[in-house]
Amino acid sequence: MNHKLNIVEKAASFEVQKIREDFPILKQLVRGKTLCYIDNAATTQKPMVVLNAIDNYYKSKNSNIHRGVHFLSEAATASFEAARTKVKEFINAKSENEIIFTRGTTESINLVAYSFGRNNLNEGDEIIISTMEHHSNIVPWQLIAAEKKAHLKIIPINDKGELILEEFEKIISERTKLVSIVYVSNSLGTINPVEEIISKAHAYGIPVLLDAAQAVYHLPIDVQKLDCDFLAFSGHKIYGPTGIGILYGKETLLEKMPPFMGGGDMISKVTFEKTTYNSLPYKFEAGTSNICGGIGLGTALDYVSSIGFENIIPHENDLLNYATNELKLINGLRIIGEADKKAGVISFVFNNIHPHDVGTFLDFEGVAIRTGHHCTQPVMDRFNIAATCRASFAMYNTKEEIDILVNALKNVTEVFK
Ligand code: PLP
């Protein structure tokens, strides 16, 4: 009862204009127009608390971590490790040992491909991914598959942009060594039924990696509830800095995996005869970490928690529904990706106007969208198109911004008539 009250109070206190105040970049004019930033799937903007945390770190704590005995080093270490605890709590991992700081989703997936892949793949083994993966969840698997003479199997998607799960059931077998799947598609917006995929894979004893690059800022993530074995995300997609990301892995799996990179911090003892490795999570954090990035990410997670997904989800769903309905009314516009469950992303094309022309035209109106293949070329091939225009929403977007987008698109169709 109390919990419910809390949610109602919080919901009432979600005022998008107040949230926008936290993001200084949103106040600027672009080409003389108010900035309408709807390219959040590429990266999100940063709230003042994150900018202050970065500023404060370099002004008062900058030092190298873990090895120092002096005051600043201890302060930097404490802040960096506190950030690790924040990540652990944010995704409900069991232990800090399961939280590895990386440069981002791409590095996290490569870590699993090289470390887990090298250790577990043999000739003829298979890795399952899907048609809607970002290139960073395709290419690392191609590289390791080529090295180990293993093969990729692909879950296809239907015309709505949803995974065809019956096909997944046909390709999974005792040869499968890992399933690596995107949670929320960055080019279609589809939210995949990851719980179902995980339980089907686990029935064969196969671990599952979730690419949560997009999911992390749209949906609450509970790795214990999901029971995923690995999960990757980037700080910059969840209102944190670039150059920092997370690999979550179950401790039992990480323990068995060899280091991904060698260098300082990841060792226990080095001699020319033999090197022994540091314990988790440091075994996978060779060299000086992005200390400030980790601290900034921790602050970003605090910020998101203070707003609450119970507020973010209804607001973003409202935006998505409103935008979808409005865009459908525009002549010649076709939406790519109409899954029943979607988050934050609308991809669209026009019959006779190239997406890059649309993007350039919108830019003159101060509207920032993304055009291209969005690092998902197999999705473009599936829909027989070269590129899409993509509008993607975050918690600070408004219906007024969607109106600006829609009006600008109507002008585009007039100009190109
Ligand atoms: N996976 C998905 C679904 C993404 O959207 C992205 C980035 O757009 C990535 C992976 C790669 O993220 P990063 O470039 O931060 O490593």
Dist. CA 350–CA 336, nearest whole Å: 11
What pLDDT, on a 0 to 100 scale, did the predictor assign at position 3? 41
Q: 381 pLDDT band (50/70/90 cuts)? A: very high
Note the pLDDT tens digit of each residue in 235-260: 999 999 999 999 999 999 999 999 99
- Rounded-to-integer distance, Cα 210 and Cα 181, Å: 5
> Which structure tokens are listed for 171?
């390709």
Q: What is the distance in A from the centroid of ligand 1 to the CA of 414?
A: 34
Ligand 1 centroid–CA 156 distance in Å is 20
Q: Which atom of ligand 1 is nearest to the CA of 183?
A: 3
SS3 per residue for the chain: CHHHHHHHHHHHCCCHHHHHHCCHHHHCEECCEECEECECCCCCCCCHHHHHHHHHHHHHCCCCCCCCCCHHHHHHHHHHHHHHHHHHHHHCCCCHHHEEEECCHHHHHHHHHHHHHHHHCCCCCEEEEECCCCHHHCHHHHHHHHHHCCEEEEECECCCCCECHHHHHHHCCCCEEEEEEECECCCCCEECCHHHHHHHHHHCCCCEEEECCCHHHHCCCCHHHHCCCEEEEEHHHHCCCCCCEEEEECHHHHHHCCCCCCCCCCEEEECCCCEEECCCCHHHCCCCCCHHHHHHHHHHHHHHHHHCHHHHHHHHHHHHHHHHHHHHCCCCEEEECCCCCECCEEEEEECCCCHHHHHHHHHHCCEECEEECCCCHHHHHHCCCCCEEEEECCCCCCHHHHHHHHHHHHHHHHHCC
What integer pLDDT is reported at residue 67 of this predicted model? 81
What distance in angstroms lies between residue 43's CA and the mean position of ligand 1's atoms? 9
Question: How does pLDDT run across 62-95, given as a tens digit for each residue?
Answer: 999 998 899 999 999 999 999 999 999 999 999 9
Residue nearest to atom 12 of ligand 1 (CA): 105
- Using one digit for the tens of pLDDT, what is the confidence trace for 321-337? 999 999 999 999 999 99
Check pocket membership of 117 for ligand 1, CB cut-off 6 A. no
Site to substitute for ligand 1 among 101, 102, 106, 342, most atoms within 8 A of C-beta: 106
Select from 109, 184, 186 the residue to mutate for testing ligand 1; criterion: most ligand atoms less than 8 Å from CB: 186
Residue 139 C-alpha to ligand 1 middle, in angstroms?
13
Nearest to 395 by CA among 307, 302, 299: 307
**What's the pLDDT tens digit per position in 285-296?**
999 999 999 999
Task: List domains and CATH numbers for the chain.
Answer: 16-47+308-415 (3.90.1150.10), 51-305 (3.40.640.10)
In a mutational test of the pocket of ligand 1, which residue from 141, 375, 379 has the highest number of ligand atoms less than 8 Å from its CB?
A: 375
Q: Where does the pLDDT of residue 13 fall: very low under 50, low under 70, confident under 90, or very high at 90 and above?
A: low
Task: For ligand 1, say whether the CB of 105 is within 6 Å of any of its atoms.
Answer: yes
- Dist. CA 213 → ligand 1 center (Å): 5
292 is annotated as an active-site residue:
no
Task: Please work out whether the CB of residue 110 comes within 6 Å of at least one atom of ligand 1.
Answer: no
What pLDDT sits at residue 1?
Answer: 35
Q: What is the mean pLDDT of the chain?
A: 95
Token readout for 342 is 């979607």
**Which residues is 211 bridged to in the sheet?**
182, 232
pLDDT over 50 (residue 141): yes
- The alpha carbon of 105 and the centre of ligand 1 are apart by a number of angstroms equal to 6
- Atom 5 of ligand 1: nearest residue by CA position: 186
Q: Mean pLDDT throughout 126-133?
A: 98
Decide if pLDDT at 353 tops 50: yes
- CB 134 near ligand 1, within 6 Å: yes
Model pLDDT, residue 173: 97
pLDDT band at 120 (very low <50, low <70, confident <90, very high): very high
Catalytic residue among 228, 292, 375, 389: 375
Which residue lies with its CA nearest to atom 14 of ligand 1?
106
Q: Which atom of ligand 1 is nearest to the CA of 106?
A: 16
| Mean pLDDT across 383-389 | 97
